[in-house]
Amino acid sequence: MRRVVDGEIVDVVMSGAAVNNLVQQGKIAPGDRLVLARVGIGVAVRAGAPKPDISSPEALKRTLLAAKSIVYTDPAIGGASGIQFEKVIDRLGIAKEIKAKSIVNARAAIKPSAEFVARGEAELGIQLISEIVSVPGAELLGPPPGDLQAMTAILAGILTAAPEPDAARALLRFLTSPAAAAAIKAAGMEPGGS
């Protein structure tokens, strides 16, 4: 975001809030912003570990309380999964208990929370599903049930100053095509829409 605001020349920006901010600043036309994919938060366990029940809010609550340790992205760095997880534990009425045994990962962009789980440094990890499925040694237990889930939109936008806007539009057409949908799903996301 900072690099684009400072004038770096690019064609396409892919992110979440950064794309919306650039639309507000007039650096991306509203019609040149689209949703590439959506991704929700998930619960990670170590590959081969027992798979506790998280199929209902009460089951998730029991599993979180029974876990010896939990790692999640620090909400202070703007991580969508950490922000949503803290809402979940507040809603379940277990925030104090969970925070007391949690590792709050302030370096999630460099060291995904699922890596802590893969190495046995935490029993459960909370992170975007797409960030769990890409970590060897970690497995996706599943998403939180029902309305405890929150989806994050992965946005893209073509800059108004793009040197190659036609090529950028072709790229985004491909990334939103049925041909790209299988790769998006395999990466733990749902293909986007508008």
Q: Which domains does the chain have, with CATH numbers?
A: 2-38+152-191 (3.40.190.10), 39-148 (3.40.190.10)
Q: What is the pLDDT of residue 79?
A: 84
Q: What is the pLDDT of residue 192?
A: 84
Q: What's the confidence (pLDDT) of residue 5?
A: 73
Distance CA 41, CA 54 (A): 13
For 84, half-sphere exposure in the C-beta direction (CA atoms, 13 angstrom radius) is 21
Average confidence (pLDDT) per 10 residues, the chain, 194 residues? 77 83 89 93 97 97 98 90 96 97 90 95 96 96 96 92 93 93 94 72
In angstroms, rounded to a whole number, what is the distance separating the alpha carbons of residues 60 and 142?
Answer: 11
| Separation CA 184–CA 177 (nearest Å) | 10
What pLDDT is stored for residue 193 in this prediction? 61
Pairs from 136-139 (Cβ < 8 Å, separation ≥ 24): 136/47, 137/46, 137/47, 138/44, 138/45, 138/46, 138/47, 138/114, 139/44, 139/45, 139/46, 139/47, 139/48, 139/49
Q: How far is Cα 46 from Cα 119, in angstroms, rounded to an integer? A: 8
Distance CA 191, CA 171 (A): 15
> Per the structure block, which two tokens stand in for 11?
């064609």
User: Max alpha carbon distance in the chain (Å)?
Assistant: 54
Task: Work out the end-to-end distance of the chain between its first and last CA atoms, rounded to an integer number of angstroms.
Answer: 22
Q: Which amino acid does the sequence have at 10?
A: V
**What distance in Å separates the CA atoms of residue 126 and residue 120, rounded to the nearest whole number?**
14
